[in-house]
Amino acid sequence: FPLTTGDRLFVTVTNASAVDMDEKSSFFGAFLIS
């Protein structure tokens, strides 16, 4: 599935203290398994 300008991804984390809100510090990957 291609992402285009304006698309948004949302993530849910179980331990918010493990996430650094600095945009250069936390990375998430998205995978499509079919």
Angle at Cα 17 formed by Cα 33 and Cα 32, nearest 5°? 5
Q: Of 28, 10, 26, which is closest to residue 18 (Cα–Cα)? A: 26
* Length of the chain, in residues: 34
CA distance 6 to 20: 23
pLDDT digits (tens, 9 = 90+) for 1-34: 788 898 887 878 888 887 877 777 766 676 767 7
The pLDDT, as a whole number, for residue 16 is 83
Task: Report the 3 state secondary structure along the chain.
Answer: CCCCCCCCCCCCCCCHHHCCCCCCCCCCCCCCCC
Q: What is the pTM of this model?
A: 0.33
The pLDDT, as a whole number, for residue 26 is 67
